[in-house]
Structure 1
Amino acid sequence: MEVFGYFGALLIGLVLGLTGGGGSILTVPLLVYVLGINPITATAYSLFIVGTTSSFGAVHNYIKGNVELKKGFLFAIPSFTVVYLTRKYIVPIIPDVMIKTSFFTLTKEVFLMVVFGIIMLLASLSMLKKRRDLSTETKSDSLFKFILQTVAVGFLIGLVGAGGGFLIIPSLVFFAKLPMRKAVATSLFIIALNSLIGFTGDVQNLDIDWQFLCIFTSISVTGIFIGIYLNKFLNDAQLKKGFGYFVLLMAVFILTKELFGL
């Protein structure tokens, strides 16, 4: 199982390099179900693994001129704020058992995972759908919509506790109007900031196995460079479609598992 776990680490980096997202979708289930790590610890490890791996990818893409720092910070700053407020004030007040009848019980954990799956489903459909021409929008309208989308994404990321690449990329493509390749690169920059800042909150609260974490992360970093290399052989349309289908597949899996227990 440990061999499968380390192979999964390579896959995490590969997905991040190719699509700019999906790392957190793979990392937590891999750590919990394959390597048997406690879910709370796995969440913290995921932040470090995805954040560090994304950092290497972001630096590599920045050197190549693919990272839009201005739009990256424009997205990250309000996103950080809303994620923090959501995690601190909204998530804690959600009751452990939200609905309970003689036939049905909806727990907080199931609710959040279903919301997570629905968000992924909508994000994937938005990436696969042909978009109308946005060139007639004014710059101010586009910026206003971009900021609104950023706040909404920050809230959703805070609610479900994901890295959010599957939410960030559609925003960068459709509201910041970045081509898919630059959206992927800029997403890595935003994910790195989100994840590593989040991880600092766990350092003092958990007993961290740094040796395991560094080995796992190193393999994941290797994977992201492989993904970045393979990325050169795909065009924007292929990346967009591939990312959309990947997120759709994961959304169907999560919703099926949580709603029907399969």
Structure 2
Amino acid sequence: MLEALLGGLLAGTLAGSLGVGGGAITIPILLFIFKLPAPKAIATNLLVVEATALFSLFFHLRQGTLRKVGVIMGLSGVLGTIVGNAIFFELAKGYMLEKVLGGVFLFLAVLMWINEEGQEELSLEKLVIVGFLAGIYSGVIGKGGGSLAVPLLVMMFKVRTKEAIGATAASTPIIALSSLIPKALSGLVVYQVALWFAPGAAVGTMIGSKLMKKGSPKLLRRIFSLFLASVGLKLLL
């Protein structure tokens, strides 16, 4: 299970540095190394995301980079996950779901590459709109919504990157849990695999939160973008 421990470390670092849940790392590992079907990989990933997101929230809170207003985004995201779970996830199950995942990863790669540093403040309407969209995305793709929320806040609403990451760190545990529950009740979560990711995730989120505080957001986005593009192409081809 070395792959899962290393995957947890990478997912945690991603979660801490970009405010996301780390699904961009975990889902490919579950698909390509553990050979899980796409619906089970998505559901299992959500349990990993929930753990990494909670670790990330703790470290961001401790170092003062958490934005508690992100809870509003998380609550709005709960409504989105209901729509995503009930409609789109069921429609996309099976072979088509891998193609959907591939397309989403490529779309996110473009967003993360081209977005520029924003200058605007967070506001209620921005948090509600982005939270709802991130919730739909989480319900279908099985991620915490952060990899969509951060680019949307920065690109569409021109919010400063570190503000967007701090708010997303607060919203991701709420959105991920809301998306996880119906999938877990359907028996899609492979718990014995997910638990191997936890130790690495704990260490990774601590590293990632420090990188976010001291590092260059642009460099982190570019690295993440290249990784997303490579995964997206592998799923589509």
The TM-score normalised by the length of structure 2 is 0.78
Aligned to 1:114: 99
Q: 2:179 & 2:138 partners in 1: Cα distance? A: 12
Tell me, in whole angstroms, the C-alpha distance in 2 between the residues paired with 1:130 and 1:235: 14
Greater radius of gyration (CA): 1
Which residue of the partner structure matches residue 65 of structure 2? Answer: 66
1:116-135 mapped onto 2 (5 Å cutoff): 116-129=101-114, 131=116
Describe the shift of the 1:66–1:243 C-alpha distance in structure 2 as closer, same or farther (beyond 3 A): same
Distance 1:68 1:175, change over 3 A: farther
Alignment of 1:1-40 (within 5 A): 2-21=1-20, 23-36=22-35, 40=39
Separation in 2, partners of 1:229, 1:79: 27
| 1:77-92 matches, cutoff 5 A | 77-92=75-90
The corresponding residue for 1:180 is 161
Tell me the alpha carbon deviations over residues 219-238 of structure 1, each in whole angstroms, 9 at most, x when there is no partner: 22112212223334412332
Q: Which residue among 215, 225, 235 is the counterpart of 2:216? A: 235
Shift in CA distance, 252/175, structure 1 to aligned 2, threshold 3 Å: same
What's the RMSD between the two structures over aligned residues?
3.4
State the Cα deviation string for residues 114-161 of structure 1 (Å, max 9, x = none).
3333333333323322659876xxx99x76566444433433333333
Q: Sort the Cα spacing of 1:44 and 1:65 in 2 relative to 1 into closer, same or farther, 3 A.
A: same
From the superposition, tell whether residues 221 and 194 of structure 1 become closer, same or farther in structure 2 (CA, over 3 Å): same
Give the C-alpha shift of residue 241 in structure 1. Answer: 2.9
Aligned ranges 1:208-227 → 2 under 5 Å? 213-227=194-208
Partner of 2:49: 50
Contact 1:12 1:23 (8 Å CA) reproduced? yes
Q: Which amino acid aligns with 2:20?
A: G
- 1:134 and 1:232 map into 2 onto residues whose CA distance is 17
Q: Classify the secondary structure of the residue corresponding to 1:69.
A: coil
Structure 1: gaps of 5 or more residues: 97-107, 258-262
Using the alignment, how far apart are the partners of 1:153 and 1:240 within structure 2?
18
Alpha-carbon distance in 2 for matches of 1:114, 1:210: 25
Q: Which amino acid aligns with 2:176?
A: S
Q: Is the 8 A contact 1:113 1:160 kept in 2?
A: no
How far residue 80 of structure 1 moved from its aligned partner, in angstroms, is 1.3
Deviation at 1:74, TM superposition (A): 2.8
Kindly provide the amino acid, as one letter, of the partner of residue 104 in structure 2: I
User: Corresponding residue for 2:181?
Assistant: 200
TM-score, normalised relative to structure 1: 0.72
Q: Which residue of 1 aligns with 2:138?
A: 157
Could you tell me how far apart the structure 1 residues matched to 2:54 and 2:96 are? 31
| Counterpart contact for 2:81–2:135, Cα < 8 Å | yes
Distance 2:235 2:36 in 1: 20
More helix by share: 2
Contact 1:12-1:220 within 8 A present in 2 as well: yes
Q: Percent identity?
A: 22
Shift of 1:49: 1.5
CA 1:148–1:12 in 2, change beyond 3 Å: closer, same or farther? closer
